[in-house]
Chains A and B, each alone.
Chain A
Amino acid sequence: MTSFLTRRRLQGGVTGFAVAALVLTTAACGGTTRGEEETTSGGGDAAASANPDAEIPEGLAVGFLPKQVNNPYFSVASAGAEAATGEFSGEYTETGPSEASASSQVSYINTLSQQGTDVILTSANDPNAICSALDQARSAGSSVVTFDSDTDPECRDVFINQATTEGIAQTQVDLIAEQIGGAGQVAILSATANATNQNTWIAAMEEYAATEYPDIEFVATVYGDDEDEKSFQETQGLLQTYPDLAGIISPTTVGIAAAARYLSGSEFKGQVALTGLGTPNQMREYVQDGTVQSFALWNPEELGYLAAYAGAALAAGQITGAAGETFEAGELGQYTVESDGVVVLGDPTVFTAENIDDFDF
């Protein structure tokens, strides 16, 4: 009897739950399908007018929110942003989640907003997941600058683009082509499967290589999730799967360092070319021991520096994010806002054995 009762009630409960869920969801309205609803702009204030001569007020609260903390690349960018904040006498905080996930950034944005931060500098783990949080922060009075990885343009005021997609893609393909003689199998070791930047670059690299270097074959794209250990293992996996592999491009600093570490300790050292985007400090020993001939990167310190100045310019009212506006970014000089609120930092720097010792980041 007991078991009968228990079972009946549980089943009844499940059915009831399912029915309730169905009723709730179907009762909402007649049917909402994709593309039906007009998306409206969220929280933008494009109507505001800019005053290029406005002074940056003292004591601006600047919050720096990277994709994740303990990532050397973002630490360097943070140092740049902190230096800039010091120059315009602001108050600087760095915060961020320990794992690079889209949703984890949301609660940090909420915190910054709750703290009354004037300028939020962030690199998005997902172009849309942090949008509503950024909208809320903006309507509460914060200026939002994205750098490195953009969000939907509606959700921020200005995006600092480290370099154009074409510039980055072409530099890396040219570097690998030079090292493998313009022909052979090439694999890509990327960050996470959803990383906005890396996916755009990879598409552009494949497109560029198809026209410029038809003998280069892209055999695989693997994801090291910007984790050292996983990137290391994925490199190992690539070399086992593709014995004829001529080169690896890793458009992420964590990936290229892990791949270089694997190659330098393996039989493939000097045989399989490696290039991509890395920091001089992480790559120095692999360039010196011959594992890596050359790699590229923009200067992340300048990226953070420019982002902080752009944020201050927004908060001061010097710019609103409209195309054609100009602002001064300290020692980097004058920058112009392009369409969609994009500010381009410049071309990436190529690092080789000759020049690597000139850089410390």
Chain B
Amino acid sequence: MAVDTTPATPAGQSAAQRPGTASRLRLLGSGDAVITGVLVLFLVVAALSVEGFASARNTGFLLLDVVVIVLIALPLTLVIVTGEIDLSVASTVGLSSAVMGQLWFAGLPLETVIPLCLLLGAVLGAVNGFFVTRLGLPSLAVTIGTLALYRGLAFVVLGDRAVADFPRSWTTWAISTIGGTGIPVVVVPLLVLVLVTAVVLHATPIGRSLYAMGNSEDAARFSGIDVGRTKFWLFVVTGVVSALGGVYWTLRYGSARADNAQGLELQVIAAILLGGVSIFGGRGGLLGVLAGALLLGSVRNALQLENVPADVLNIVTGGLLVVAVVAPQVAARVRNRTRSRPAGPPSAPPARPATDPRPSTDPAVQVPADQRGNR
């Protein structure tokens, strides 16, 4: 457990507690708008030109494919906003799936197995959080380690077996749809979680503190935020949600395996980055992440329907990601150049480039934190 070392300063308090409502709304940001626009445009084009794309059945297939990605992207977005990363999410999915299979095989009721899996997820997340916040190790290194460690443990638990005799009522529920709409039932609880996460990130002091940490950890600490403790709990939540993803994954495919969701972490991170979240922290919004995940899913779905080979598909999604990361940088650079040519009044504060991953160590960084989201 992190110890509260920083006494709250009045300055930090007032800065954190008085954000303008307008700026809070604008936090949803232009990056979100761009990616959402691209998504809508793509959906329209695909619906008109790809045979079989715009049907209730296909919508169901598409959504089922992105459910776990969106689910894990929720807490992981918060982690990335604080400037950290968790690469062990897919291995946590695999380990919780393996444990779920083993416990079910041992005869425990599912109603006990599932909470135990979530608890396991909390422990796995706490291990990541402990190494990152208490020992001060870089999260990239820690979670590359636990990525391998948790996957290895999954194979220790279940070996090369697959447990597949889950009750049909549960596995059918996992893929059932709401009436004839094609929309999977699980989308409803998922939307609730999306809403909760969006409110936490965009409309609470916690959310603002996450952006503050991502912009400057020192400044956040000076303004009275317990950085270590907040990050620790973020890792715990990520672990729990990933484990929940593992439980769902197991029911959705009706098969508990140690190699479930291998490589999924990259798909989740790709969706988050495509959604306009800065990998350096401090920037991005949840709407964009949602759009990013749906865009990646829709592109794959539409191209598959057009019989595009898997290799080309990987090239397209990879290229899309590179464009998504590079385009805002180029745009910002162009904007800066055109802005700096006509010399502005020297007294005006210089516009900070939007691409700058790290702001200056300005103690009052929380206000810029809001402004940066506005660009």
Contacts and interface: CB of A to CB of B under 8 A. Distances in A.
Whether both chains belong to one complex is answered with yes
A10 B230 CA distance: 7
Among B4, B104, B160, B172, the one with the most A-chain Cβ atoms within 10 Å of its Cβ is: B160
Interface stretch (A103-111, A160-168, A303-311): A103-111
Nearest to A152: B164
A126 B255 contact: yes
Interface string B151-166: 0000100011110110
Nearest to B237: A14
Interface in A79-111: 93, 95-99, 101-103, 106-108, 110-111
Given A37-B167, A98-B311, A5 B122 contact: no
Nearest to A131: B254
A128 to B, nearest CB: 4
A2 B107 contact: no
A233 B208 CA distance: 49
B159 A32 contact: no
Interface stretch (B19-27, B281-289, B298-306, B319-327): B298-306
Contacts of A98: 310-311, 313-314
Interface in A183-227: 192-194, 199, 223
B200 A13 contact: yes
Contacts of A110: 58, 61
B226 A37 contact: no
Interface string A3-36: 1111101110110011001100110111111111
Nearest to A5: B205
Q: Give chain A's interface residue range (CB within 8 Å of chain B).
A: 35 or more
Given A6-B209, A40-B168, A107-B61, A33 B107 contact: yes
A2 B259 contact: no
A199 B160 contact: yes
B108 A111 contact: no
B105 A34 contact: yes
B335 to A, nearest CB: 34
A180 interface: no
Interface stretch (B28-36, B139-147, B260-268, B271-279): B260-268
Interface stretch (B110-118, B130-138, B351-359): B110-118
A333 B13 CA distance: 84
Nearest to A116: B52
B255 A128 contact: yes
A70 interface: yes
A2 B223 contact: yes
Given A98-B310, A114-B61, A129-B255, A6 B225 contact: yes
A21 B167 contact: no
B253 A192 contact: no
A13 B109 CA distance: 27
B254 A18 contact: no
A37 B168 contact: yes
Contacts, number: 193
Contacts of B224: 1-3
B240 interface: yes
Contacts of A4: 4, 8
A240 interface: no
Given A31-B109, A115-B305, A14 B236 contact: yes
B257 interface: yes
B84 to A, nearest CB: 15
B259 A21 contact: no
A102 B204 contact: no
Nearest to A33: B109
Given A115-B305, A193-B160, A102 B255 contact: yes
B226 A3 contact: yes
A288 interface: no
A99 B267 CA distance: 14
Contact of B65 (A6, A21, A107, A199): A107
A339 interface: no
A348 interface: no
A70 B310 CA distance: 10
Contacts of B119: 18
Q: Which of B6, B65, B112, B162 has the most chain A CB within a 10 Å cutoff?
A: B162
Interface string A24-58: 01101111111111011010000000000000000
A127 interface: yes
Contact of B253 (A99, A106, A194): A106
B233 interface: yes
Interface string B219-230: 000011110011
A7 B230 contact: yes
B249 A103 contact: yes
Contact of A33 (B108, B223, B249, B253): B108
B350 interface: no
A112 to B, nearest CB: 9
A132 interface: yes
A95 B304 contact: yes
Residue with the highest number of chain B CB atoms closer than 10 Å, among A32, A35, A192, A223: A32
A7 B230 CA distance: 6
A329 interface: no
Contact of B309 (A18, A34, A69, A115): A69
Given A21-B244, A102-B253, A13 B237 contact: yes
Pairs of residues from A and B, 7 with the lowest C-beta to C-beta distance, nearest first: A193-B160, A128-B164, A3-B226, A31-B109, A98-B310, A129-B253, A110-B61
17 contacts: A2-B209, A3-B6, A6-B206, A10-B229, A10-B233, A21-B118, A21-B240, A26-B111, A98-B310, A108-B304, A114-B55, A114-B61, A114-B305, A115-B51, A116-B52, A132-B254, A223-B160
Given A13-B200, A98-B314, A128-B253, 5 more contacts: A7-B230, A10-B206, A25-B110, A126-B257, A193-B155
